Amino acid sequence: MAIVWLDSTKNELTKTDWYDMVLPRTSTIFTRDEDEHTARRRLWDHALSVRNTNNIHIPRTLHHIKALHEFIDKANGEPILVNDMMAWYTFDAMGDLVYGQDFEMLKTGKWRPVVKQQQRALALLAPINDTIWIVRLAFAFAPFYGKIREFFKIIDFCDQRMAERIQSGAKKDDLASYFIEEYHALDGQRSLKERKALLSGNAVSAVIAGSDTTNPALTAVSYFLAKNPKDAEKVYQELQGIDVMDSIVLANLPHLNGVINETLRLLPPAMTINTRVTPSQRLWFDDTFIPGGIRVVAPKYTIMRSSEAFEDGDSFIPERWYSRPEMVRIRAAFAPFGSGHRQCAGKHLALVQLRLVISSIVQKYILEFPPGFDAESVEKNLKDQVTCRPGPCWVVYKPRVSEMK
């Protein structure tokens, strides 16, 4: 399967120049050097380990879920634009996870400028993903022009947060602490300029990866649950008599996890990125000859809907993940977080967040589209802007009678 093959250690494919986008900054994500990737990846794996997630990150998540419920309750049954609400939730949670700072967008109901800047910057990159040299050229010669300026504002925001943390000397259980620890540990091994570039690259990577992937996933799950009320009811029945804040219990609920898997299959947060370059001496993939120096990509959005890999691949059928396994024809085709040694370091945390948020919402609310809303427009207006961008999704959250007593 192409998704697995692209990230396999058994081939000689290399990352494309897309990953040079933030140079001279670098990180485990934004590097094309395999040794550098491996060395920097160890820090991310430790920071986002199962132990740290359970002991440190989950309590933070629960705090933000409470704020999410309060935001929904304030709507008093009026339609909510889920795209905005989940963007605020994920950025609030990301700020806490990375910097130990809650940006309180759910509380205020207002955008932080940096979030809009991030969205506009990614929209700039989307149509020219395969010609990243144009972006690099613009970065070098027109850094203050339009959306290019927005991209640098994101970097400035991240750099300022890190500088504040270093200056304060505060020790918090957040990702910034790990980045700063590495910054100091490399003193004497790398120049100050190189260490600052790594610190900045880590911070930028965390902001983009930590908020801009979970946001569309939560929006998409909400869309599918409102569109498929029988599946929402099945999840609700699974939640009866259990602690919906227990991440270990939630990980073993078949329909809840089927809903999440099916959402990630149909609307993966990273739809088409992950390009590679073939080695100069050429290679073969199955029976296909590929010349050297050619860009190759395994688009998740296309592969995970393929009839070769999934029976009735365009349909939302959570049961395929537990009671109807014959509907998954090629299990390796399901790789929303990537695969192999380049699999997303935050996979465990992302799944924990999805389970906690969705189960807590389904337990308290019935999700419905408002009268006259064209539900199909959510997918019709889908955009691929480095990460998935569902069309505007309006949902009414009706309190369940059992929760009103």
Q: Give burial (CB, 10 Å; 0-12/13-18/19+) of 340.
A: middle
For all residues of the chain together, what is the average pLDDT?
Answer: 88
Q: What percent of the chain has pLDDT over 70?
A: 93
- Does the pLDDT of residue 10 top 80, yes or no? no
Between residues 241 and 401, the one the model is more confident about: 241
Nearest to 53 by CA among 158, 173, 171: 173
Confidence check: pLDDT of 63 > 90: yes
- State yes or no: pLDDT of 244 exceeds 60: yes
Q: Measured between alpha carbons, how far is 116 from 360 in angstroms, rounded to an integer?
A: 27
Distant-in-sequence, close-in-space partners of 128: CB < 8 Å, separation ≥ 6: 134, 135
pLDDT classification of 131: cutoffs 50, 70, 90: confident
DSSP state of 366: E
Does 293 have pLDDT greater than 90?
no
0.85 surpassed by pTM = yes
Q: Is pLDDT of 126 > 70?
A: no
pLDDT at position 25, please? 87
- Between 33 and 118, where is the model more confident? 33
Cα–Cα distances in angstroms (integers) from residue 171 to residues 17, 18, 162, 204, in the given order: 36, 34, 12, 20
- pLDDT band at residue 195, thresholds of 50, 70 and 90? very high
Mean pLDDT of the 262-291 span: 85
User: What tens digit of pLDDT does each residue of 313-348 get?
Assistant: 999 999 999 999 999 999 999 999 988 777 888 899
Q: Which two tokens stand for residue 36?
A: 């550098």
Kindly write down the DSSP assignment for every residue of 72-89, as one continuous string: HHHHTT--EEHHHHHHHH
pLDDT the model gives residue 396? 98
Averaged pLDDT for residues 106-134: 76
Report the pLDDT value the prediction gives residue 83, as an integer from 0 to 100. 96
Region 271-292: mean pLDDT is 82
* Residue labelled with tokens 């806490």: 96
β-bridge pairing 80-81 and 276-277: unpaired
**Which residue has better confidence, 103 or 257?**
257
Which domains, from first to last, does the chain contain? 2-404 (1.10.630.10)
Query: Residue 284: what pLDDT?
Result: 80
Q: Which two tokens stand for residue 125?
A: 């990159």
Segment 298-310 mean pLDDT = 93
* Rg for the chain, CA atoms, rounded: 21
Q: Which residue has the higher pLDDT, 13 or 266?
A: 266
Neighbours of 306 (CB within 10 A): 14
Cross-strand partners of 328: 310
Is the confidence at residue 295, as pLDDT, over 60? yes
pLDDT tier for residue 405 given thresholds of 50, 70 and 90: very low
**Lowest pLDDT segment from 232-241, 268-277, 318-327:** 268-277
User: Is a pLDDT exceeding 80 seen at residue 361?
Assistant: yes
Q: Higher-confidence residue: 17 or 216?
A: 216
DSSP state of 56: I
Q: Measured between alpha carbons, how far is 247 from 243 in angstroms, rounded to an integer?
A: 9
Model confidence band, residue 294 (pLDDT cutoffs 50, 70, 90): confident
Q: What angle do CA 115, 129, 41 make, to 5 degrees?
A: 70
Question: In this predicted structure, which of 104-108, 147-151, 160-164 has the lowest mean pLDDT?
Answer: 147-151
Q: Which one is predicted more confidently, 55 or 254? A: 254
For the cut 90, the answer to whether the pLDDT of residue 397 exceeds it is: yes
For the cut 80, the answer to whether the pLDDT of residue 210 exceeds it is no
Residue 157 has pLDDT above 50, yes or no: yes
Residue with tokens 């929209």: 123
**Segment 180-188 mean pLDDT:** 92
Spatial distance between the Cα atoms of 175 and 43, rounded to a whole number of angstroms? 10
On the question of pLDDT at 285 being above 70, the answer is: yes
| Pick from 4-13, 15-24, 384-393: least confident | 4-13
